[in-house]
Each structure stands twice: as structure tokens, then as C-alpha cells.
């Protein structure tokens, strides 16, 4: 089975290459910077340094959600060519936009805090007197969180409102529990978690976290959050059983160290099982796919289905 590993930098995914090879994959690494997409003559080509990228059975993608404007057309192309990837089309747009992410999670019945999203400060002002504190308030300019502050009472909320600039695109206001945060890596149905302690200045750094055993409910919420956003592999943050963040790029190095697990091995195993489920067999899937595509628009198309 042929696997393409795409990442922003090789050092982010280096340990994955031998892990995939040990599962029988023929692996090739490609830096995302070197990829280009070309659409012409009613078709799309994926190229690297001017050369067409050959057919792969699967793609392991490790990139930040902020690369969505490039990644989304790429995922669309993988999907239309029936190449499996750990992120589905649409997932990077969800990852890039926080209001969209929370709305998607809510409609997917994922446990999240109660949230209000508004496009103007007037829209959140009325919460000031009647909201139940503490609250977390975020001000977004484009996709970037420009300000993020926990407010404990109406006075602090007023101070926040006075400090905001005119160019804010959206405000996110959500219930906030000052407590420990759980960061986990979801790999298919497996979840590996780390607990980060709440300190006076906020939550501790991930590298100072301790291995944590999730409850069944927390485990289920993490998997559901990743799947709802369109990721088979994701990094999740949660607090009090409620999801606070979902992102496609996992901090593999730190999580592997704290969990004392070879997460690369788990990812490779997940890919091998996934492709087996999808019916991709070594050297067979590709040729049949090509034959089907060639004859799909002929009288033989129906028969080949």
C-alpha cells in the first residue's frame, strides 16, 4: 500500500516514517510548501515541483488548520480520487473558524459549554448584568483570537467591553469553569490523555502535564468531537467533560512522552486497519479503480459498478 505523508516540516513527522514502513506501507514524505494544484482542461492535477504526484492509497496529513485555504482544495481532490486521508473535506474550514467549530460541535450533540456568539459588542452587552459568572470572553479579528479573558463579575466585563477595538469580527462568550484542562490525542477510537493543572496564571504548559485516565463519557466525547469535525486523528482540549477545542495537528512528541506510548505506532496501525476496512489491497485497488474510471462513461459503466 502506498502512503503519502504531508506535513509542514519533516521534523514534525519524522518518527512516523519508520512506523508506517513497519506496517508494510511504501511511504513518501512531501513538504506541503512544495505542493501545487493545477486545474485545467476540466481536470485537476496535484503537483510537486512541476511533476505530477503519482497515485497513493492514503495520505497522512499533519498541518495546522490555518492552512485551510490550501488544504481544503487538496482534501477535495483526495476525496474525489478516493484517496483516504485522516481529515475529511470541510474539516479544515471548521478547524480554522472558532464560531463555526462550536456550532458544528453543538449540532453534532458533542458536549460543549453554553456559548453565545455575536458580531458586535452590542450583542453581548446585555449579558453583562444578567450573565452567570465566571465567563470566558474572546474577541476575534478574522480567524485570530485577538483578546481572550476570563471575567468574574459585571465590572470586569465592562472593563473588557471598554478595551475592545472597533475591528472585531466576532465575540464568543462562554461559561467558564476555572479547573484543570485535559489535552488528548484521538487516533480513530483510541484516546490518549494528559491532564494540565490549573495554576494561578492559567493552565500549565502541555509538557508539564501528567498522564490522565479518561472516564467513559470523556473518552466518548473526545472521539465524537473529532469525528463531528471530520477528523479521524485530532488533538482535543476539554474541561469538566466539555469540549473546548478540536484541531487537526497533534503535538505528537510531547503527548507520546507524557503518555509513555508510541503514538506513531498507533497511527500507523490505525491507517493499516482503516485501509483494510476500505478494501484497499496492495497493488490491486489502484488498477481496478483506473479501469472503472476509464469505462465509467461508456456502456460498460453500469456493468462495472
Contacting residues toward another protein, per CB under 8 A: 32-44, 47, 49-50, 66-67, 69-70, 72-73, 76-77, 80, 90, 93, 96-97, 99-100, 102-107, 109-120, 122-123, 126-127, 129-133, 135, 140, 142-143, 169-170, 173-175, 177, 242
* Grid cell at residue 9: 516540516
- In the complex, the smallest distance separating the C-beta of residue 153 from another protein, rounded to whole angstroms, is 12
Pairing type for strands 58-62 and 84-85 reads parallel
- In the complex, the smallest distance separating the C-beta of residue 46 from another protein, rounded to whole angstroms, is 10
- In the complex, the smallest distance separating the C-beta of residue 297 from another protein, rounded to whole angstroms, is 10
Instruction: Please identify, using beta-carbon distances, which residue of 139 and 258 lies nearer to another protein.
Output: 139
Instruction: Please identify, using beta-carbon distances, which residue of 112 and 259 lies nearer to another protein.
Output: 112
Angle at CA of residue 21, ends 20 and 22, nearest 5°? 90
Instruction: Please identify, using beta-carbon distances, which residue of 50 and 201 lies nearer to another protein.
Output: 50
Instruction: Please identify, using beta-carbon distances, which residue of 68 and 275 lies nearer to another protein.
Output: 68
Instruction: Please identify, using beta-carbon distances, which residue of 283 and 301 lies nearer to another protein.
Output: 301
149 within 8 A of 137, measured Cβ to Cβ: yes
- In the complex, the smallest distance separating the C-beta of residue 168 from another protein, rounded to whole angstroms, is 9
- In the complex, the smallest distance separating the C-beta of residue 35 from another protein, rounded to whole angstroms, is 7
Instruction: Please identify, using beta-carbon distances, which residue of 37 and 284 lies nearer to another protein.
Output: 37
- In the complex, the smallest distance separating the C-beta of residue 242 from another protein, rounded to whole angstroms, is 8
Surface-to-core class of residue 299, CB atoms within 10 Å of its CB (0-12 exposed, 13-18 middle, 19+ buried): exposed
Instruction: Please identify, using beta-carbon distances, which residue of 15 and 123 lies nearer to another protein.
Output: 123
Three state DSSP letters for the chain: CEEEEEECCHHHHCCHHHHHHHCCCEEEEEEHHHEEEEEECCEEEEEECCEECCCCCEEEEECCHHHHHHHHHHHHHHHHCCCEECECCCHHHHHHCHHHHHHHHHHCCCCCCCEEEECCHHHHHCHHHHCCCCEEEEEEECCEEEEEEEECCHHHHHHHHHHCCCCCCEEEEEECCCCCEEEEEEECCEEEEEEECEECCEECCHHHCEEECCCHHHHHHHHHHHHHHCECEEEEEEECCEEEEEECCCCHHHHHHHHCCCHHHHHHHHHHHHHHHCCCCCCCHHHHHHHHHHHCCCCHHHHHC
- In the complex, the smallest distance separating the C-beta of residue 40 from another protein, rounded to whole angstroms, is 4
Instruction: Please identify, using beta-carbon distances, which residue of 22 and 126 lies nearer to another protein.
Output: 126
* Grid cell at residue 268: 500507523
- In the complex, the smallest distance separating the C-beta of residue 36 from another protein, rounded to whole angstroms, is 4
Amino acid at each position: 500500500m502506498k502512503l503519502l505523508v504531508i506535513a509542514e516540516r519533516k521534523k514534525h513527522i519524522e518518527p512516523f516514517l519508520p512506523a508506517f514502513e513497519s506496517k508494510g506501507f511504501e511511504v513518501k514524505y512531501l513538504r506541503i510548501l512544495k505542493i501545487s494544484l493545477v486545474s485545467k482542461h476540466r481536470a485537476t492535477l496535484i503537483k510537486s515541483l512541476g511533476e505530477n504526484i503519482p497515485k497513493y492509497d492514503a495520505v497522512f496529513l499533519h498541518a495546522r488548520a490555518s492552512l485551510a485555504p490550501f488544504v481544503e482544495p487538496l482534501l477535495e481532490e483526495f476525496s474525489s480520487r478516493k484517496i483516504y486521508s485522516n481529515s475529511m473535506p470541510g474539516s479544515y474550514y471548521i478547524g480554522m473558524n472558532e464560531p463555526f467549530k462550536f456550532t458544528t460541535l453543538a449540532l453534532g450533540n458533542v458536549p460543549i459549554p453554553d456559548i453565545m456568539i455575536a458580531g458586535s459588542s452590542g450583542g453581548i452587552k446585555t449579558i453583562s448584568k444578567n450573565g452567570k459568572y465566571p465567563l470566558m470572553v474572546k474577541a476575534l479579528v478574522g480567524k485570530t483570537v485577538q483578546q481572550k479573558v476570563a471575567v468574574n463579575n459585571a465590572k470586569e466585563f465592562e472593563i473588557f467591553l471598554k478595551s475592545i477595538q472597533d475591528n472585531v469580527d466576532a465575540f464568543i462568550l462562554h461559561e467558564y469553569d476555572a479547573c484543570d484542562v485535559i489535552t488528548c490525542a484521538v487516533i480513530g477510537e483510541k484516546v490518549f490523555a494528559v491532564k494540565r493543572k490549573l495554576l494561578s496564571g492559567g493552565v500549565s504548559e502541555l509538557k508539564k502535564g501528567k498522564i490522565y485516565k479518561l472516564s467513559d463519557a470523556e473518552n466518548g466525547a473526545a472521539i465524537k468531537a473529532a469525528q463531528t469535525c471530520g477528523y479521524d486523528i485530532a488533538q482535543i482540549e476539554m474541561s469538566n467533560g466539555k469540549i473546548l477545542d478540536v484541531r487537526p495537528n497533534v503535538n505528537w512528541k510531547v503527548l507520546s512522552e507524557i503518555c509513555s506510548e508510541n503514538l506513531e505506532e498507533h497511527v500507523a496501525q490505525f491507517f493499516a486497519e482503516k485501509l483494510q476496512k476500505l478494501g484497499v489491497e496492495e497493488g490491486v485497488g489502484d488498477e481496478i479503480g483506473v479501469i472503472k474510471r476509464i469505462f465509467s462513461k461508456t456502456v460498460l459503466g453500469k456493468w462495472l459498478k
